[in-house]
Amino acid sequence: MTDGTERRAASSQGQLFYDAFKASPIGIVLEDLSGQPLFVNPAFCAMLGFSEEELVQKHCVDFSPPEDSEKDWSLFQQLQSGLIDHYELEKRYFRRDGSLIWGRLSISLFNGGGSRLVVAMIEDITEKRAAQEEVLQSQQILQKLAGQLMRAQEEERARIARELHDDINQRLALLAMKLNQLEQDPRTAPAQFKQDITEARKQIEDLGGDLQSLSHSLRSAKLQYLGIAAAATNLCTELSERSKMRIDFSAENIPQNLPEEVALCLFRVLQEALRNAIKHSGSQQIDVSLTNLHDAIHLIVRDSGIGFDPEQAMNGNGIGLVSMKERLKLVNGDLSINSQPDRGTTVHAYVPLDTRTKSANTGL
């Protein structure tokens, strides 16, 4: 091959590499060993919003915040000294408007034409990093929620243990002592004996009612055997009598054979919503409705109390609202809360009916 032919081939090959450099969808920067850019391709210019003339006037450490540049420059110095011949890292880059993007930087040495140069390739990974951050935040929220739920479970167990030990157990002991006295004292007058028996029966009935309320907090038998509408009716009646607050309940077109997980979810959400309203709203009345509308079950709990900031409550230490929302997610449902100071609160739980449930209730 003649010298002219070789020169033309080399020129053609150089043009090919230059065209590839310009057309690459990934940012490419050719630098000298001091870190000064010599050539910058259009993809990198578009990535940062600067022109090629502006970028070649910068040093490589000027592209990123100081803490990112320090990591990059430390590795670059090892590259200069020959300790390494390439490296990779993820770092942030300044855009012209001052915003930051994430890039994956790949650096390698290039020997060409007797000169040692540095080839930097930068891939925009901003969206990927944002997705990773979102996943990480979700994991952290779930970990926090799991910890809070475990603490809540332990607190609930402790509460039940206290009620059984400090209240139920002591009342049973006193009742046993009373019955023992009646058995040991045959001289008791008939009228007094009848009164004592009546009091003992009343104590037994009270104990039975309290044990029933305690068991409802764990699992409602009515929910299992009679369905969500009957269980919700019973819950509203019991809480109304106990709190001395009026609770009006209505149900419309509720299927009898709702999936167990859906019925239990709605029941727990109702328990939590009523507990919050009774404890915090200051309202004298709560309206509860359970309806089957547009192929979905809607549970609405409304009070006219002092209201609150739902977003602040969601981000706070309490787990009530968060647990309600997470429960509904398990059955593809959703939770919305509308509340304003001194204008009351409306809790709306929504659970779509799946095809099997609708078919079973329509006979299709």
The share of the chain scoring above pLDDT 90, in percent, equals: 37
Confidence of residue 357 (pLDDT cuts 50, 70, 90): very low
Higher pLDDT, 90 or 151: 90
Q: What pLDDT is stored for residue 360 in this prediction?
A: 40
- Whole-angstrom Cα distance, residue 234 to residue 97? 62
- pLDDT tops 60 at residue 4: no
The share of the chain scoring above pLDDT 70, in percent, equals: 77
- Whole-angstrom Cα distance, residue 208 to residue 216? 12
Higher pLDDT, 160 or 58: 58
Q: pTM to 2 decimals? A: 0.46
Which tokens belong to 18? 């230059």
- pLDDT tops 60 at residue 229: yes
Q: Which of 4-8, 140-144, 158-162, 287-291 has the highest average model confidence (pLDDT)? A: 287-291
103 - beta bridge partners? Answer: 91, 124
- Whole-angstrom Cα distance, residue 326 to residue 142? 10
The architecture of the domain spanning 3-124 is 2-Layer Sandwich (3.30)
- pLDDT tops 80 at residue 191: no
Confidence of residue 22 (pLDDT cuts 50, 70, 90): confident
- Whole-angstrom Cα distance, residue 235 to residue 98? 57
Confidence of residue 288 (pLDDT cuts 50, 70, 90): very high
- Whole-angstrom Cα distance, residue 78 to residue 272? 60
In the chain, which ranges are continuous DSSP H helix?
3-23, 42-48, 52-55, 66-81, 126-162, 169-184, 190-218, 221-226, 228-243, 260-276, 310-315, 320-329, 355-362
Q: What pLDDT is stored for residue 355 in this prediction?
A: 45
Model confidence over 48-96: pLDDT tens digits? 999 999 999 999 899 999 999 999 999 999 998 889 989 999 999 999 9
pLDDT, averaged across the chain: 81
Q: What pLDDT is stored for residue 149 in this prediction?
A: 64
The topology under which CATH files domain 220-364 is: Heat Shock Protein 90 (3.30.565)
- Whole-angstrom Cα distance, residue 118 to residue 36? 9
Q: What pLDDT is stored for residue 152 in this prediction?
A: 64
- Whole-angstrom Cα distance, residue 223 to residue 230? 7
Q: What pLDDT is stored for residue 341 in this prediction?
A: 81
- pLDDT tops 80 at residue 343: yes
Residue 284's φ and ψ, nearest 5 degrees, are -100, -5
- pLDDT tops 90 at residue 321: no
Q: What pLDDT is stored for residue 220 in this prediction?
A: 60
Higher pLDDT, 151 or 72: 72
Lowest average pLDDT, out of 33-37, 99-103, 149-153, 260-264, goes to 149-153
Which tokens belong to 6? 């070789």
Task: Count how many Cα atoms sit within 13 Å of the Cα of residue 141 in the half-sphere of its side chain.
Answer: 14
- Whole-angstrom Cα distance, residue 293 to residue 57? 66
Strands 100-112 and 27-31: unpaired
Lowest average pLDDT, out of 178-182, 312-316, 339-343, goes to 312-316
